[in-house]
Amino acid sequence: MGFALWMKDGLSWAQGTHEYRPMGVAVISSSDHFRPRDFQARRRNPSREPRAFVGFFASLGHMNLYLERMRRSQRFEKKRRGGLSSGVSIL
């Protein structure tokens, strides 16, 4: 198996192969997980925009793990920035 992943505007696109046969393309919200049933052979390829390309993955599990880590790091950044803004003091 092999998968290519693109992410842009809150969507994740994946194009996959299974034993050298095309599985098709899947598109999900970046807050979701890919499942085998998401892939459709008739769906068009994702954008080939270089900045949207994330990389290649060996399995759906690896790709979903990457998406989960991205979500965790984004939540961490939001919490870190969500503290007190400059100029605000607590008495």
Q: 45 lies in which domain range?
A: 2-71
Look at the chain and report how many structural domains it folds into.
1
The span from the CA of 83 to the CA of 10, in Å, is: 25
pTM for the whole thing? 0.76
Residue 90 lies in a domain: no
Residue 85 lies in a domain: no
Residue 86 lies in a domain: no
Residue 84 lies in a domain: no
For residue range 19-76, list pLDDT tens digits in order. 777 889 999 999 999 999 999 988 887 767 788 999 999 999 999 999 999 988 887 6
Residue 80 lies in a domain: no
Longest dimension (CA), the chain: 65
Amino acid, res. 23: M
Sign of the CA dihedral running 47, 48, 49, 53? positive
